[in-house]
Amino acid sequence: MALSTPPGAGALAVVRLSGPDAIRITQALFSKKNLAAQPGHTVHYGTLRDPESHVVLDEVVVALYRGPRSYTREDVVEISGHGSDFIVRQIMAALLRQGARLAEAGEFTKRAFLSGALDLAQAEAVADLIAADSALSHQVALNQLRGGFSDELRGLRARLVQFAALLELELDFGEEDVEFADRTGLGRLLAEVQGVVAGLLRSFELGNVIKNGITTVIAGRPNAGKSTLLNALLREERAIVSATPGTTRDFIEDEVTIDSLRFRFVDTAGLRDNPADEVEAIGVRRTRERIGQAALLLYVFDLTELTPADVQADIAELTATLPSLPVLAVGNKLDLATPAQLAAFREWDSKRQEVALISAGQRRGLEELQAALLGQVRGAGLAGTGTSTIVTNVRHARALEVAVQHLGAVREGLGLGRGTELLAADLRHALAALGEITGEVSSDDLLTSIFTQFCIGK
Ligand code: GDP
C-alpha cells in the first residue's frame, strides 16, 4: 500500500493497494457493496470508516482491478479520496491496522516486472515517463514502455541464442569433431548484430541529450550581458545581474525547452586575460572546464566594445582544444550599438561566423537567437527524428558496450579458427549482457538498485 499521488494538499489523493488481500482490507473500511463480489475494472462510490472507532474518514471512490488484468497482475485497489495529508494519514493508518503494509519505493512496478507484466527496460521507462518534461523525452520513454526497444533486443538475442545452442551441442559431443553451427552464417549474423548494437550505442549520445538536455555554456567577457541573457531566456530573474565586472562567480544552471528540445544553460564567470583576484581566476579555470563538457557554446559579447576580430580571437582561444564544438556568437546591447558597429557584424555574419544580434536587456532578437540555437543543434546532429529506437539509460548503454565487446571477441575467434569452447563462452557473455537490459538475466542487487530509484507509490 502507498500514497500514489504527491503528498500535501490537493484535489485528490490516491492510495493504492496491491496483493491478494487488497480487496478484503479495503472492504473492512468501505461502507457499501460487497466489493469481493464486484468485477474488475469497476469504480464504487462510498464512505470510508475506521472499523474500530466507526469514525467517518472520507467520502471516496474505489477503483477495482482484478489480477491478472492490473498493473501488477495482482488484485489492485485504488482509493481516491480528498487530498489532505490528515485524511490520507488516517486512511493509511486504518488500512495498516487491517493488515496492509507500506510499499517500498517502486514496489508496484517491481511486482509488475516480477509477474512478467513488464520487462526491465519497460519498468525503467515508467520512471522516465514520470520524469519526462519535453515532447521528445516523453516520446522516447513511451516507446520504451510499449516495448519497442525490448522487442528489438529480444529479436537480436533470439537469433544469437539459436547459434549458441548449436555451439553448446557441439560441446556436448566433446571428442567427436562435429560442427553443427555454420561458421559462415554465424559470422554474418554476428556482424549484423554488432552493427545494430553499435547503432543503439551511438543513439545513446542523442538519448542523453533528450533525457538530460543539451548542455549549453554561456561564456564571454565580463559585463557582456551573459546573466541578463540567461534571465531573458528563462523569463525570470534567477541570475544576479550587476554592473560591476566579474561578479557572476557561481555557475547558474537552468533549463529552457525550445521547440521540444531541452537546453540546460550554464552561465559562467566572465573570461578575462588577467583576472583581478584569485577567486575570479578559479572562476575562469572552471569556466574552461565547463566548456569542455558543453554540447554547445554561446559566446556572448558587447557589440559596442569588440570588433569581429576580437570576437574571433576569443572564440578561437576558448575552443582551441575543442575544434568540433558548435559555437554561436551572440552580439548583445543592440540598443547601444552604432550603425557602423552593426554593419561590421552583419557583414561578418554573412561571410564567416553566424552572429545573433540581440538586446538581452530589452529582450530583442531572442526569437532569432532561439532559431539559431536550434539550427546549431540540428546541424550538429544532436536532435533526432524520434522515430528509431533511442537508448537513454546509462545502464543499457553499459550493457550494450559489454555486448559489443564480446560479440567482437566471438568474431575474432571465428576468424582465428578458435575452438568451440571459447566461441561459446564469449557468445554466452554477449547474450547475458543483452539479456540484462530487458531483465531476462538479472540479480537481486540489480533489481534493488533500479527500483529504489523510483518514487514510493509507483
Ligand atoms: P555578465 O557579466 O556578462 O553576466 O553581464 P550582466 O548580464 O551582468 O550585464 C552587465 C551590464 O550590462 C548590466 O548592467 C546589464 O544591465 C547591462 N546589459 C545587459 N544587456 C544589455 C542590453 O541589451 N542593453 C543594454 N543597454 N545594457 C545591457
Identify whether 193 is part of a domain.
Answer: no
Identify whether 92 is part of a domain.
Answer: yes
219 and 363 part of one domain? yes
Identify whether 113 is part of a domain.
Answer: no
CATH number of the domain that residue 22 is part of: 3.30.1360.120
State which of 218, 221, 227, 228 you would mutate to test the pocket of ligand 1, scoring each by most atoms of that ligand within 8 A of its C-beta.
228
227 touches ligand 1 (CB under 6 Å): yes
> Which single residue is written with the C-alpha cell 517500498?
104
Q: Which atom of ligand 1 is found nearest the CA of 336?
A: 26
- Residue finishing a domain among 379, 406, 440: 379
367 touches ligand 1 (CB under 6 Å): no
331 touches ligand 1 (CB under 6 Å): no
98 and 218 part of one domain? no
**What's the rounded Cα separation, in Å, for the pair 458 and 23?**
19
Q: Using one digit for the tens of pLDDT, what is the confidence trace for 89-107?
A: 999 999 999 999 999 989 9
**What's the rounded Cα separation, in Å, for the pair 28 and 44?**
15
What is the pLDDT at residue 236? Answer: 45
Q: How far is the CA of 257 from the centre of ligand 1 (A)?
A: 23
What is the torsion angle, in degrees rounded to the nearest 10, for the CA atoms of residue 432, residue 433, residue 438 and residue 441?
30
Q: Using one digit for the tens of pLDDT, what is the confidence trace for 401-436?
A: 999 999 999 999 999 988 889 999 999 999 999 999
Identify whether 169 is part of a domain.
Answer: no
226 and 97 part of one domain? no
The residue nearest atom 2 of ligand 1, judged by CA position, is 223
150 touches ligand 1 (CB under 6 Å): no
Q: Into how many domains does the chain fold?
A: 2
Identify whether 425 is part of a domain.
Answer: no
Other beta carbons within 10 angstroms of residue 128's beta carbon come to: 18
Q: How far is the CA of 225 from the centre of ligand 1 (A)?
A: 4
Q: What is the pTM of this model?
A: 0.64
Q: How far is the CA of 277 from the centre of ligand 1 (A)?
A: 22
Q: How far is the CA of 243 from the centre of ligand 1 (A)?
A: 7
225 and 352 part of one domain? yes
CATH number of the domain that residue 319 is part of: 3.40.50.300
Q: Which atom of ligand 1 is found nearest the CA of 240?
A: 8
Taking each continuous run of H as one helix and of E as one strand, the counts in the chain are 15, 11
Residue numbers in the chain where pLDDT is lower than 50: 236-250, 385-387
233 and 87 part of one domain? no
- Residue finishing a domain among 105, 126, 160: 105
Identify whether 148 is part of a domain.
Answer: no
- Residue finishing a domain among 379, 414, 445: 379
Which SS3 state, helix, strand or coil, does residue 80 take?
A: strand
Identify whether 397 is part of a domain.
Answer: no
User: Looking at this protein, which amino acid is placed at residue 344?
Assistant: A
DSSP 277-323: SHHHHHHHHHHHHHHHH-SEEEEEEETTT--HHHHHHHHHHHTTT-T
248 touches ligand 1 (CB under 6 Å): yes
**What's the rounded Cα separation, in Å, for the pair 300 and 356?**
9
332 touches ligand 1 (CB under 6 Å): yes
- Domain extent, residue 39, equals 2-105
222 touches ligand 1 (CB under 6 Å): yes
Going from the C-alpha of 63 to that of each of 40, 154, 331, 362, the distances in angstroms are 8, 35, 58, 53
Of 23, 17, 35, 20, the closest CA to residue 92 belongs to: 17
Q: Using one digit for the tens of pLDDT, what is the confidence trace for 41-55?
A: 999 999 999 999 999
What is the pLDDT at residue 342? Answer: 93
Q: Which atom of ligand 1 is found nearest the CA of 245?
A: 2
Cβ distance 289 to 303 under 8 Å?
A: no
What is the pLDDT at residue 249? Answer: 41
Which SS3 state, helix, strand or coil, does residue 44 take?
A: strand
Q: Which atom of ligand 1 is found nearest the CA of 230?
A: 7
**What's the rounded Cα separation, in Å, for the pair 140 and 384?**
11
Identify whether 323 is part of a domain.
Answer: yes
